[in-house]
Structure 1
Amino acid sequence: MAGGDAIVNKLSTAPETVAISPDALRSAIANGLVSSEQAEGLRELERARTPAFDAEPHDDEKFRFISGFSDIFVTIGLGLFLGALGYFSSDMIGNTGMFAVIAVTSWLLAEYFTRRQRMALPSIALLLVYAGAVFSTVAEAFNPNLNFGMGLGNHGGFPIVVAGLATAAATALHYRRFRVPVTIAAGVAALVASAVGVLFMVLPDFAEQAAKPLLLACGLAVFTLAMRFDLSDPQRLTRRTDIAFWLHMLAAPLIVHPLISGLVGEGGSDVVSAWSILAIFVGLALVALVVDRRAILVSGLSYAGFAFGALVVKAGLSDSVVPLTMLVLGALVLLLSAGWHALRRTLLSLLPGALARRLPAHT
């Protein structure tokens, strides 16, 4: 105890108190210095000691996106540099060479800004540029005139399959080197593109009709993968929660678009379709509340606005459709935000105890 008291006295007389950052806690968990329960206890202790005015708002979906204005500053510089590099490379070596140069340059820049500086936003931007450049390099190499629309046919499906598989492999190497959480979602997105490419290769005449069910199946698979990461870290203290966040961001549009776009394309302006869309939106809201992931809900907002707008028109208020729709959607988002934790507590109380205990429960 004497040694512990000496340490406490030394810290108390230090000129500046150094707070333990969330990243430091995650590293401590990863290295076995503390358990997830101990880390959560430290967080609760810090929240109890911090004055209410100075405390950060509680958010179970917190993830590292930006650490300071320098992240924004560097990201702007990366955009300008890579954009100019792409312009000059395209003139000299063509589109395929341009994408290859951007992919290699993005990796080299990540060696400094990601591996050494550990800057969050530039790391995300560089990974997305790298994945997109690898995909485009391979696709363009197989078919320079490739149309990335839905009418790929036999000729266009194969480059998409190969490009998707190559991008998945490239992102796996990138993750092994840099450990950027969004990389997993980028690799999974590439695999989804490959699955769509296979569909257009095998069933070109039926592909456009089957694309939506396939995307829905892929979205559910991605959602399941995201939940595996979420359930493995219910306290949301490790890198797994960031990986799950990006997977949910990918899964949400893959699920929402196939479910709702069919109603929109098949006369979504009629009352029945509009109410159906709103019912789907309510179902998505319940899922989002249970798993505590707002990305699912955000993806359905545009469709909910379309459906409510259709109901406003049917009610004879077509002149006010836009402001009324914006007013209702804004009020809905604000109400959900204010009552999120109370609604979650109610829904979790209705679930089996074994499942509810594995879900995020910081409400």
Structure 2
Amino acid sequence: MMNESVIATAVSRGILSADQAGALNRLAAELGGDGPPAAQRTPDDEALRLITGFADIFVTLGLGLFLVAVTFFGSRLGEAVGLSKAVAWPLLTVVTWLLAEFFTRRRRMALPSIVLLAVFVGATFLALLHAFAALTGDAGIAAGNYLDFVNGYPMVASVAALATSVAAFLHYLRFRVPITVAAGVVALAFALFAGLLAAAPGLIRPHLTALIFVLGLAIFVLAMRFDMSDKARVTRRTDVAFWLHLAAAPMIVHPLFAGIGADFEQVSFGQAVAVLGAFLALGVVAVIIDRRAILVSGLAYAGLVCETLLKNAGASDLTIPATLLVLGAFILLLSAGWQPLRRLFLRGLPLSLTLRLPNPVT
């Protein structure tokens, strides 16, 4: 019986269209083929290829221990030659690439590949910062004051982030790990952010939140392009879209609620109502595009709203458990009614737009 990986490969090679692949997956489920039976597989499943088996967890544990040790001994080696961590991060970059040659390119292990990519990108960026510090003798970066370094040298941070995005692109060409696209795009967004900050600090600093919001929207649009190119969600493009949505969500949500005036210290009743309205609007968007990342990013603010409203109602002694109860009930009810709600919202949209959306709801 054909499994989903075979069908996905057929789509990527042009043997099947995305719609035909989706129909085959549904038919296999109805006939009791590979994967969960039809009764367990719902149209609103947001599938994610994260763990292919317990071996993924076992290998990831080993990678974590091994990479921590590599970082430690690399730091000791750097200190011995007077370069501090300027040796550890380049060493970690090389080691993660070599490990990916086996665990990603040959074994195709999902979770270890994600971990190796994340470490590779982070180590590349830090290696470049430490290389600049080694050339200039800057002591702050050697002590780990990365935020101060970025504030003091935004153009250096921009160039380092741009080079990191290029490294992520090369990594994707070699290994095709879906999260790599999101990592590269985030690095590119940070390069633009730091570059603008360096070029016009007086103009950009008062509008940092708005700039982050715009960059988040740009990543969201890119995620939708990947989503709409694989409406049946059977190819690697849907995994790329998932990670892009995950990257864009906090960049959209936090500036949005910050613009309303919400923070985690104090919020007025009027602000609480505004946050609640924005959260519900994000929920509608999440249901329409069938992606939950943007809704999850707003949960902390929704909890803040619940706490404020409960205190105003005189239930100050029960704010934490009552807030957890409300949020939990909301998530469970939304999950249970996701498919009917999506049908309802899609009926209210123009047909031309509905047909372009990822639309597993029939």
* TM-score > 0.5, shorter chain as reference: yes
- Is the 2:19–2:231 contact (alpha carbons within 8 Å) kept by the matching residues of 1? no
**Which among 21, 26, 50 is matched to residue 65 of structure 1?**
50
Report the Cα offset of residue 50 of structure 1: 2.0
The SS at the match of 2:121 is: helix
Report the Cα offset of residue 48 of structure 1: 1.3
* Alignment partner, residue 81 of structure 2: none
* Alignment partner, residue 14 of structure 2: 32
* Alignment partner, residue 200 of structure 1: 197
* Alignment partner, residue 116 of structure 2: 126
Percent identity reads 46
**Within the alignment, does 1:84 sit opposite 2:74 as a pair?**
no
- Is the 1:348–1:356 contact (alpha carbons within 8 Å) kept by the matching residues of 2? yes
Report the Cα offset of residue 151 of structure 1: 8.6
The SS at the match of 2:314 is: coil
What is the alpha-carbon root mean square deviation over aligned residues? 1.9
* Alignment partner, residue 5 of structure 2: 23
**Deviations 1:209-244 (Å, cap 9, x if unpaired)?**
211000000000000000111111111111111111
- Is the 2:217–2:252 contact (alpha carbons within 8 Å) kept by the matching residues of 1? yes
Matches within 5 A, 1:218-237: 218-237=215-234
1:73 alignment partner AA = F
- For 1:274 and 1:208, the matched residues in 2 are separated by 27
Question: Which sections of structure 1, spanning at least 5 residues, go unmatched?
Answer: 1-18
- Is the 2:217–2:248 contact (alpha carbons within 8 Å) kept by the matching residues of 1? yes
1:80 alignment partner AA = L
- Is the 2:21–2:232 contact (alpha carbons within 8 Å) kept by the matching residues of 1? no
* Alignment partner, residue 294 of structure 1: 292
- Is the 2:264–2:304 contact (alpha carbons within 8 Å) kept by the matching residues of 1? no
Change in 2 beyond 3 A, CA 1:53/1:159: closer
Matches within 5 A, 1:1-363: 19-50=1-32, 54-55=37-38, 56-58=40-42, 59-93=44-78, 94-143=84-133, 145-146=140-141, 147-149=145-147, 152-153=150-151, 155-205=152-202, 207-262=204-259, 263-265=261-263, 268-363=266-361
Change in 2 beyond 3 A, CA 1:151/1:312: farther
- For 1:321 and 1:190, the matched residues in 2 are separated by 39
1:115 alignment partner AA = R
TM value normalised by structure 2: 0.90
The SS at the match of 1:264 is: coil
Report the Cα offset of residue 200 of structure 1: 2.6
2:310 alignment partner AA = V
- Is the 2:18–2:231 contact (alpha carbons within 8 Å) kept by the matching residues of 1? no
- For 2:56 and 2:7, the matched residues in 1 are separated by 22
Change in 2 beyond 3 A, CA 1:103/1:71: same
Higher relative contact order (CA 8 A, sep 6+): 2
Across the two proteins, how many residue pairs are aligned to each other? 344
- Is the 2:210–2:255 contact (alpha carbons within 8 Å) kept by the matching residues of 1? yes
- For 2:324 and 2:149, the matched residues in 1 are separated by 34
1:252 alignment partner AA = A
Report the Cα offset of residue 35 of structure 1: 2.4
1:109 alignment partner AA = L
Which range moved further: 249-258 or 232-241? 232-241
- For 1:53 and 1:197, the matched residues in 2 are separated by 46
- For 1:38 and 1:199, the matched residues in 2 are separated by 46
- Is the 1:219–1:255 contact (alpha carbons within 8 Å) kept by the matching residues of 2? yes
Which range moved further: 52-61 or 284-293? 52-61
Report the Cα offset of residue 179 of structure 1: 0.4
**Deviations 1:180-232 (Å, cap 9, x if unpaired)?**
01000000110121122123312334544211000000000000000111111
Question: Which sections of structure 2, spanning at least 5 residues, go unmatched?
Answer: 79-83
1:132 alignment partner AA = G
Report the Cα offset of residue 47 of structure 1: 1.6
The SS at the match of 1:99 is: helix
- For 1:354 and 1:91, the matched residues in 2 are separated by 61
1:357 alignment partner AA = L
- For 2:288 and 2:219, the matched residues in 1 are separated by 17
Report the Cα offset of residue 123 of structure 1: 0.5
Report the Cα offset of residue 257 of structure 1: 0.8
**Deviations 1:7-36 (Å, cap 9, x if unpaired)?**
xxxxxxxxxxxx322221111111122222
Which range moved further: 24-33 or 346-355? 24-33
Report the Cα offset of residue 361 of structure 1: 2.0
- Is the 2:129–2:157 contact (alpha carbons within 8 Å) kept by the matching residues of 1? yes
- For 2:64 and 2:320, the matched residues in 1 are separated by 34
- Is the 2:29–2:36 contact (alpha carbons within 8 Å) kept by the matching residues of 1? no
- For 1:158 and 1:317, the matched residues in 2 are separated by 51
- For 1:158 and 1:20, the matched residues in 2 are separated by 52
